[in-house]
Amino acid sequence: MKLDVKLERRATPHPLMALLYPALAIILGLLIGAFFIVAAGADPIKAYEGLVYGAFGDIYYITETLIKTAPLLFASLGITVAFRCQVWNIGAEGQLYAGALAATWLGLSLVNIPALPHLFLMIFIGFLAGAIFGSISGVLKAKLHINEIISTIMLNYIILYFVSYILHGPWKDPVTLWPESRPIAPTAIFPVLMAGTRLHAGVLLAFICVPLIHVFLNKSVLGYRIKAVGTNPAAARFGGVSVAKSVILAMVISGGLAGLAGMNEVCGIQYRLRTDISPGYGYTAIIVAMLGKLHPVGVMLASVFFAALINGADLMYRVTGIPVALVSVLQGIVLLSVIGCEVLSNYRVKVIKGG
């Protein structure tokens, strides 16, 4: 008797595998990462120990990880909304800087106003700036069918050079030597939540966005339309949903959330605008969103994981000399593994008995 093993496509993904594959992807990523660490001549166990300690080793490291979770969480929730609509927003990095730019402007120009209204205005303008910047690509896609991947990436470069220009020129702090703005007003700064750390109220705001986006996507009409367009645009159109409006709305919300990430860095960490307020949060957020399976809760967990990676990589570098760039390699591998593992959950292994 001959046994034949075949992969057979499932009608619906295996429920347990669908839940487990992000974990599998992380393990695969770390294993391949270990290979690179060995290739670099270091001990992978030691390197990963340093990485974990640098991320969660004591209360200070934990708060630092949470601080880096916030911008990732804002941006990746935004990407989740866009990707659910099958709008490939790669522009979170630029939208983040748009939010930071507007927040800095308001933080510099508005003085003599109590802290609470000032902070609310900062949050509002951060969202608004990111939303407007994101809507450019949304309108170009909806009205002219211009590929949003290309337009968002081009806008990323354009705004980064604009920020560089404004910080070397008109907004440059005359006191310091660096390309950075003057400090924003004290009333525009997020209060610190825990003495002796940098944990600030913006982190709380990021976590509050998780249930908000969850409710928006699952309980609101607009969220339903966005998902309908993402699942099947032809059917959505037939059902009376305006595809163009949903695409633009997805980009507005997506950009707005990324704008909050930029505002958050200005009001919570830097207290001024710098050219390097984001070490690529907007790009990492794409992987975070995918690893979190485009579900707000999953995205939250994935944000903590990647914040830990970014944070822990610093200590890993100091302990073992492994370049921080390993994180970018891991990001690429994890994304590839997530995509690959997702395929696995769509198939079942079938053993066929033959004569």
Partner 1 sequence: MVEEILSPEFIAGFLAASLRIASPLLLATVGEIFAERSGILNLGIEGEMLTGAFVGFAITYFTGNIWLGIFAAIFAGALYGTLMAFMSVSLGTNQVLNGLAITLLGSGLGFFLFRIIFGVRTVLPYVGGFKTIDIPILSQVPIIGEAVFKQYSLVYLALILVPISHFVLFKTTTGLRIRATGENPKAVDTLGINVIKIRYACTIFGAALAGLSGAFLSLVQFRTFLSEMSAGRGFIAIALVIFSNWSPIRAFGGAFLFGAAEALQLRLQAIGFAIPYQFALMVPYALTLLVLIAVAKKVAGPAALGIHYRRG
With CB under 8 A as the contact rule, the residue among 164, 176, 220, 231 that binds partner 1 is 164
Residue number with CB closer to partner 1 (53 or 347): 347
Residue number with CB closer to partner 1 (140 or 189): 140
Residue number with CB closer to partner 1 (114 or 169): 169
Q: What is the smallest separation between the CB atom of 343 and partner 1, expressed in angstroms?
A: 5
**Residues 85-114 contacting partner 1, CB under 8 A:** 88, 90
Rounded CA-CA distance 29/35 in Å is 10
Residue identified by tokens 């700064």 is: 189
Count of residues touching partner 1 (by CB under 8 A): 45
Q: Which two structure tokens, joined as six digits, stand for 166? A: 């404004």
With CB under 8 A as the contact rule, the residue among 36, 124, 207, 224 that binds partner 1 is 36
Residue number with CB closer to partner 1 (117 or 318): 318
Burial class (CB in 10 A: 0-12, 13-18, 19+), 247: buried
With CB under 8 A as the contact rule, the residue among 19, 194, 215, 325 that binds partner 1 is 325
Q: What is the smallest separation between the CB atom of 310 and partner 1, expressed in angstroms?
A: 13
With CB under 8 A as the contact rule, the residue among 53, 162, 207, 224 that binds partner 1 is 162
Nearest to 103 by CA among 78, 76, 130: 130
> Do 81 and 226 contact (CB within 8 A), yes or no?
yes
**Residues 50-89 contacting partner 1, CB under 8 A:** 88
Q: Are strands 347-354 and 2-9 parallel, antiparallel or unpaired?
A: antiparallel
Nearest to 50 by CA among 334, 330, 317: 317
Residue number with CB closer to partner 1 (153 or 193): 153
Q: What is the smallest separation between the CB atom of 162 and partner 1, expressed in angstroms?
A: 7
Q: Which residues pair with 8 in a beta bridge?
A: 348
Q: What is the smallest separation between the CB atom of 3 and partner 1, expressed in angstroms?
A: 24
Q: What is the smallest separation between the CB atom of 61 and partner 1, expressed in angstroms?
A: 24
Q: What is the smallest separation between the CB atom of 263 and partner 1, expressed in angstroms?
A: 23
SS3 171: coil
With CB under 8 A as the contact rule, the residue among 96, 247, 267, 327 that binds partner 1 is 327
Burial class (CB in 10 A: 0-12, 13-18, 19+), 114: exposed
Residue number with CB closer to partner 1 (137 or 264): 137
Rounded CA-CA distance 86/306 in Å is 23
228 binds partner 1 (CB under 8 A): no
Binding mask 119-158 for partner 1 (x = CB under 8 A): ---------------------x---xxxx-xxx-xxxxxx
Q: Which distant-in-sequence residues (6+ apart) come within 8 Å of 18 by Cβ?
A: 293, 342, 345
Rounded CA-CA distance 339/61 in Å is 31
Rounded CA-CA distance 59/310 in Å is 17
**Residues 265-324 contacting partner 1, CB under 8 A:** 283, 286-287, 290, 323
SS3 119: helix
Q: Which residues pair with 4 in a beta bridge?
A: 352
Nearest to 303 by CA among 56, 77, 54: 77
Q: What is the smallest separation between the CB atom of 119 and partner 1, expressed in angstroms?
A: 31
Q: Distance of alpha carbon 243 from its chain centroid, rounded?
A: 25
DSSP-derived letter for residue 188 is G
With CB under 8 A as the contact rule, the residue among 5, 11, 39, 221 that binds partner 1 is 39
Alpha carbons within 13 A on the beta-carbon side of 323: 7
**Residues 331-350 contacting partner 1, CB under 8 A:** 331-333, 335-336, 339-340, 342-343
Residues lying near partner 1 in the complex (CB under 8 A) are found at 36, 39-40, 88, 90, 140, 144-147, 149-151, 153-158, 161-162, 164-165, 168-169, 283, 286-287, 290, 323, 325-333, 335-336, 339-340, 342-343
